[in-house]
């Protein structure tokens, strides 16, 4: 049977770092440091199994624990040359909590245990420092009184404050031994009158009182709500570490401190932290005295007068530096440590891997490889992909002054400053004048695409995290705040109002899409850059990953960005975005309103050269890398105006009657456009659209191929297919067009025709879609629509439903952010198997927001996809996530 108690110390150490579940992080790492021969006060850790036993048995302790603890305490006495409860030379104890997962400040710790009216005198004599002994005793009474006896800590603080006021003392360090004795007497009186009992003088009673209290603190309110917040299981339990005290309050050659072995904000390889001379640990947190800097460099930077530890105790500082280097080499990571210096001697009290900013994570990972402490795959595993997302967007300079006017949802990260515009047209006009604008709308729709891409940021009054504005902004890498309910937009007045302010069109605002803050005026910004460390780490990541990473990009601007961030191709080019441009939408509307095929062809002929030049440019930018172009997808009514008032001028421009336009608008209106007349259904009704698009693609391929000197092999993707027959009808149109162009130009065309899988039927019938000579040559899972169609949940209407579901355990994660592995994932699995059964080695990717979500990418790696495609700004995240998935799989395979 495993032991209840694990000792650590110079003579014997039972535990080690691998036992965090048993010993908690603190206990396991104290044992580990002991094993390394580092200076750790001896002690023992009571296993978390005791805690589980305790709560399973009405707060009773297991048999055998008492004698194990008695023996371990006796051994500590031997190691230290003192004895617990000994009135001449008392051993004092720290009783410390600590679970496997760090829960900072949630549970309790009691220091200086073992003091009573008798042993305190012994401690004074043995140490030759009376003041120190009584200072320690009063600290013990304060902590024990609070944690074990339930006397409010404020009571002691008030008594001490009163005493200091009466005696005109400014700081705790000024009290003499006699004065502390006086304070102690008052504390003991207060306890007697609060709980009707004396402060316990029996040191064994003290010890068991403390152990019980620490165990109980696992279920205090603070710890409970912390666990709920961080999804930590209640069954884990806390360990209890009992350790010999060392004293940072033994005068000016003693101190207590906390440190990071590197700078956790920047990652710089410099010691970072603070200390207090003549103090115990809780003084640093309590904030009653201002802590001082460890290094001379930090002191100079802060322009602090008080000396750094480096100058006050150079010997101890040098020893710490040495210990930190050993810890880093051993743990292969930056450490966050707690230490105490007693009369010049250093003691280590805690170590763990330190939390750090995203920048620091990158720098530390790269530096540790360069210092030959870790390998490249370890560096890649050290950096959380999701944490990097905010490094890929402009940010508000930390510490900048902010004039907050409203708050909304942090819909798309990054910050932007610009002039307020209230319509997409204004946005485009002002953009053309070289101005930066923030588009402020009640909510956005497909018509706002151009306004959004002309803007540097988007703010909406309504809509959730998956509203049109949020989704489109994220895919554009555009900062966005949605659902800022506190603003009112008045189009007629040209204003936006909040409870206290009115801003006009043209006024400057700043939005922070990372926090959801709307600020008046401009705020200093930090521009994003792939720092040298970021570039290095991601290049290492690329050597491990199997999944290719492409980008979803529709415009030259997006494509350039995608390439810069390492995209290995375009996985999804949505052709419709090219039609929304002000100069093109008229031809599109003409096509939609034409009364016959001839009229449609005439309109399409106007669009052809525009599409051709768009595609040619994308091909040139991608320079031979694969480009997947999706044929027209959205329902046609998205191209028509929505408001009565806009109809007349459009009818006039199109040269048709207002009646005709109105009829067309109402013909095209649908109850459920997402499941309506769109995708391949449109093209089967109007094959001339596909013909024009295929021609634009092929002619562009020839043009770009000539310019670059190598052939372009476009991938043409047919959307919303459910039946093989749908695919065949359109594939035939594309092939016939290709044959025609080959005959016209004498050039041979190489291309692939594939399909987007975004309907459950398509996923279920993968084999049917890919088999035979005319079958689909690639699949791309459109996981946005596949999620909508699988869950029967509209993304545009999901926000209130998801909000209501939150915390009810229905969705583990937002299925539009992280793929629903059980349902949508199962369909993908079936689709892959079918597709590859129909056509060996079928190339399969996914496009959809999930391609840039680290958790989903790991899942796609397991499924054996060839690539993921995501918005340009998420490409580095996907590259890192794909590498981590490959490394994890390799490690699993090896073990
Ligand atoms: P927390 O989990 O809140 O950090 P700890 O158990 O680490 O609680 O204790 C808090 C502080 O108490 C430590 O940072 C240290 O300064 C002090 N402390 C803990 N153990 C000892 C000890 N054996 N000797 C002296 N001080 C100690
Ligand atoms: Mg601690
Ligand atoms: Mg779709």
The number of the ligand 1 atom at minimal distance from the alpha carbon of 256 is 16
Gap from CA of 99 to ligand 2 centroid (Å): 12
Gap from CA of 96 to ligand 1 centroid (Å): 7
Q: Does residue 240's CB lie within 6 angstroms of at least one atom of ligand 1?
A: no
What was the pLDDT predicted at 252?
93
Choose which residue among 286, 350, 354, 355 to substitute to test ligand 1 binding: the one with the highest number of ligand atoms within 8 A of its C-beta.
350
Choose which residue among 94, 249, 339 to substitute to test ligand 1 binding: the one with the highest number of ligand atoms within 8 A of its C-beta.
94
Residue carrying structure tokens 């829960």: 103
Higher pLDDT, 472 or 758: 758
Neighbours of 446 (CB within 10 A): 16
Residue 847 falls in the annotated catalytic set: yes
Residue nearest to atom 11 of ligand 1 (CA): 281
What was the pLDDT predicted at 287?
67
pLDDT tens digits, 601-654:
999 999 999 999 999 999 999 999 999 999 999 999 888 887 778 888 889 989
Q: Does residue 267's CB lie within 6 angstroms of at least one atom of ligand 1?
A: no
527 pLDDT more than 70:
no
Q: State the chain's mean pLDDT as an integer.
A: 93
What was the pLDDT predicted at 267?
93
List C-alpha distances in Å: 618 to 549, 572, 575, 692, 750: 17, 12, 12, 18, 17
What was the pLDDT predicted at 244?
98
Q: Does residue 241's CB lie within 6 angstroms of at least one atom of ligand 1?
A: no
Residue 154, SS3 per DSSP: helix
What was the pLDDT predicted at 466?
64
Q: Does residue 281's CB lie within 6 angstroms of at least one atom of ligand 1?
A: yes
Residue nearest to atom 14 of ligand 1 (CA): 281
Q: Does residue 650's CB lie within 6 angstroms of at least one atom of ligand 1?
A: no
Residue nearest to atom 9 of ligand 1 (CA): 109
Compute φ and ψ for 676, nearest 5 degrees: -110, -135
96 pLDDT more than 90:
yes
**Burial readout 820-855 (b: 16 or more C-beta within 10 A, e: otherwise):** bbeebbebbbbbbebbbebbeebbbbbbbbbbbbbb
Q: Does residue 695's CB lie within 6 angstroms of at least one atom of ligand 1?
A: no
CA 596 from chain center: how many Å? Answer: 53
Q: Does residue 136's CB lie within 6 angstroms of at least one atom of ligand 1?
A: no
Residue 502, SS3 per DSSP: strand
The number of the ligand 1 atom at minimal distance from the alpha carbon of 97 is 6
What was the pLDDT predicted at 329?
97
Neighbours of 739 (CB within 10 A): 11
Q: Which of 593, 680, 847, 870 does the annotation list as catalytic?
A: 847
Q: Does residue 352's CB lie within 6 angstroms of at least one atom of ligand 1?
A: no
pLDDT tens digits, 562-601:
999 999 999 999 998 778 777 788 899 999 999 899 999 9
Q: Looking at 82-86, 203-207, 395-399, which range is the least confident one?
A: 395-399
What mean pLDDT is predicted for residues 54-76? Answer: 97
CA 489 from chain center: how many Å? Answer: 32
Gap from CA of 759 to ligand 3 centroid (Å): 9
CA 638 from chain center: how many Å? Answer: 35
| Inter-residue contact 758 to 789 (CB < 8 Å) | yes
- Which band of pLDDT confidence, cut at 50, 70 and 90, is reported for residue 192? very high
Q: Does residue 109's CB lie within 6 angstroms of at least one atom of ligand 1?
A: yes
Residue 480 falls in the annotated catalytic set: no
Q: Does residue 246's CB lie within 6 angstroms of at least one atom of ligand 1?
A: yes
Task: Give the closest ligand to the alpha carbon of residue 105.
Answer: 1
What was the pLDDT predicted at 528?
67
Neighbours of 559 (CB within 10 A): 23
121 pLDDT more than 90:
yes
pLDDT tens digits, 11-46:
999 999 999 999 999 999 999 999 999 999 999 999
Beta strands in 88-237 (DSSP E): 90-91, 93-99, 109-113
3-state secondary structure 118-130: CHHHHHHHHHCCH
Q: Which tokens belong to 401?
A: 């002054």
- CA–CA dist 331, 337 (Å, integer): 12
What was the pLDDT predicted at 475?
64
Task: Please state, for a pLDDT cut of 70, what percent of the chain lies above it.
Answer: 99
Q: Which of 53, 393, 468, 861 does the annotation list as catalytic?
A: 468
Please give the DSSP secondary-structure letter assigned to residue 307: P
Residue nearest to atom 10 of ligand 1 (CA): 281
825 pLDDT more than 80:
yes
Residue nearest to atom 1 of ligand 1 (CA): 105
886 pLDDT more than 70:
yes
Please give the DSSP secondary-structure letter assigned to residue 250: S
pLDDT tens digits, 391-445:
887 789 888 999 999 999 888 888 999 999 999 889 988 887 778 999 999 988 8
Gap from CA of 732 to ligand 3 centroid (Å): 22
Q: What DSSP element (H or E) covers 388?
A: none
Gap from CA of 720 to ligand 3 centroid (Å): 7
Residue nearest to atom 6 of ligand 1 (CA): 96
What was the pLDDT predicted at 171?
87
Higher pLDDT, 734 or 451: 734
């Amino acid at each position: 049977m495993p032991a209840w108690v694990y000792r650590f110390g110079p003579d014997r150490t039972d535990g080690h770092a691998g036992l965090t579940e048993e010993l908690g992080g603190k206990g396991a790492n104290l044992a580990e440091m002991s094993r390394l021969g580092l200076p750790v006060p001896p002690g023992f850790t009571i296993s978390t199994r005791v805690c589980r036993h305790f709560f399973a048995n009405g707060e009773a302790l297991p048999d055998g624990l008492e004698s194990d603890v008695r023996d371990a305490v006796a051994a500590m006495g031997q190691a230290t040359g003192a004895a617990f409860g000994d009135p001449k030379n008392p051993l004092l104890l720290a009783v410390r909590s600590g679970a496997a997962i760090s829960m900072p400040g949630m549970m309790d710790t009691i220091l200086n245990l073992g003091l009573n009216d008798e042993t305190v005198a012994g401690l004074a004599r043995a140490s030759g420092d009376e003041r120190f002994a009584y200072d320690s005793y009063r600290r013990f009474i304060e902590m024990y009184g609070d944690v074990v006896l339930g006397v409010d800590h404020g009571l002691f603080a008030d008594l001490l404050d009163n005493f200091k006021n009466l005696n005109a003392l400014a700081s705790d360090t000024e009290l003499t031994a006699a004065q502390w004795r006086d304070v102690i007497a008052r504390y003991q009186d207060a306890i007697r009158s609060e709980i009707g009992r004396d402060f316990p003088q029996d040191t064994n009673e003290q010890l068991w009182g403390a152990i019980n209290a620490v165990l109980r603190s696992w279920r205090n309110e603070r710890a409970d709500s912390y666990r709920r917040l961080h999804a930590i299981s209640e069954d884990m339990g806390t360990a209890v570490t009992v350790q010999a005290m060392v004293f940072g309050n033994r005068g000016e050659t003693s101190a207590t401190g906390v440190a990071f072995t590197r700078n956790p904000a920047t990652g710089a390889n410099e010691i970072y932290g603070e200390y207090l001379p003549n103090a115990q640990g809780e003084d640093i947190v309590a904030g009653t005295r201002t802590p001082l800097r460890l290094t001379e460099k930090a002191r100079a930077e802060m322009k602090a007068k008080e000396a750094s530890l480096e100058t006050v105790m150079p010997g101890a500082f040098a020893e710490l530096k040495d210990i930190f280097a050993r810890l880093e080499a051993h743990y292969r990571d930056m450490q966050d440590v707690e230490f105490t210096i007693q009369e010049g001697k250093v003691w280590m009290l805690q170590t763990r891997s330190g939390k750090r900013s995203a920048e620091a994570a990158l720098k530390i990972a790269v530096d540790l490889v360069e210092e030959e402490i870790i390998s490249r795959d370890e560096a890649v595993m050290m950096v959380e992909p999701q944490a990097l997302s905010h490094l890929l967007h402009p940010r508000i300079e930390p510490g900048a002054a902010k004039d907050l006017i409203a708050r909304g949802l942090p819909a798309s990260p990054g910050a932007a400053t610009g002039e307020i515009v209230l319509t997409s047209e204004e946005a485009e006009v002002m953009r053309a004048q070289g101005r930066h604008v923030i588009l402020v709308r009640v909510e956005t729709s497909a018509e706002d695409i151009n306004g959004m891409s002309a803007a540097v940021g988007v703010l909406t009054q309504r809509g959730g995290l998956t509203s049109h504005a949020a989704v489109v902004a994220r895919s554009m890498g555009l900062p966005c705040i949605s659902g800022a309910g506190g603003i009112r937009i008045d189009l007629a007045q040209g204003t936006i109002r909040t409870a206290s302010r009115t801003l006009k069109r043209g006024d400057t605002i700043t939005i922070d899409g990372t926090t959801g803050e709307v600020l008046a005026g401009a705020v200093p910004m930090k521009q994003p850059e792939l720092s040298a460390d970021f570039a290095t780490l991601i290049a290492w990541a690329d050597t491990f990953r199997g999944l290719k990473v492409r980008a979803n990009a529709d415009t030259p601007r997006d494509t350039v960005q995608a390439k810069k961030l390492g995209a290995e191709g375009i996985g999804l080019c949505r052709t419709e975005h090219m039609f929304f441009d002000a100069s093109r939408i008229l031809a599109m509307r003409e096509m939609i309103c034409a009364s016959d095929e001839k009229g449609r062809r005439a309109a399409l002929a106007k669009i052809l050269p525009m599409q051709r030049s768009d595609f040619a440019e994308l091909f040139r930018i991608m320079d031979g890398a694969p480009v997947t172009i999706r044929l027209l997808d959205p329902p046609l009514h998205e191209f028509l105006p929505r408001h009565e008032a806009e109809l007349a001028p459009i009818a006039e421009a199109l040269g048709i009657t207002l009646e005709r336009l109105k009829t067309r608008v109402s013909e095209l209106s649908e109850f459920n456009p997402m499941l309506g007349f769109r995708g391949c259904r449109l093209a089967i009704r109007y094959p001339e659209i596909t013909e024009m698009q295929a021609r634009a693609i092929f002619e562009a391929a020839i043009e770009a191929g000539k310019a670059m000197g190598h052939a372009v092999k476009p991938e043409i993707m047919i959307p919303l297919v459910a039946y093989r027959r749908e695919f065949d009808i359109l594939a035939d149109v594309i092939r016939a067009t290709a044959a025609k162009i080959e005959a016209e130009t004498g050039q041979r065309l190489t291309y692939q025709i594939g399909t987007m899988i975004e309907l459950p039927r398509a996923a279920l019938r993968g084999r049917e879609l890919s088999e035979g000579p005319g079958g689909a040559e690639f699949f791309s899972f459109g996981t946005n629509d596949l999620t909508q169609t699988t869950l029967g949940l509209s993304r545009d209407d999901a926000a209130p439903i998801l909000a209501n579901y939150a915390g009810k355990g229905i969705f583990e994660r937002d299925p539009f952010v992280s793929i629903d592995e059980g349902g949508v994932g199962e369909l993908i699995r079936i689709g892959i198997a079918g597709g590859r059964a129909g056509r060996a080695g079928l190339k399969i990717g996914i496009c959809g927001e999930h391609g840039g979500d680290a958790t989903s990418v790991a899942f796609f790696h397991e499924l054996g996809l060839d690539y993921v495609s995501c918005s340009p700004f998420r490409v580095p995240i996907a590259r890192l996530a794909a590498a981590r998935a490959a490394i994890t799989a390799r490690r699993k395979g090896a073990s």
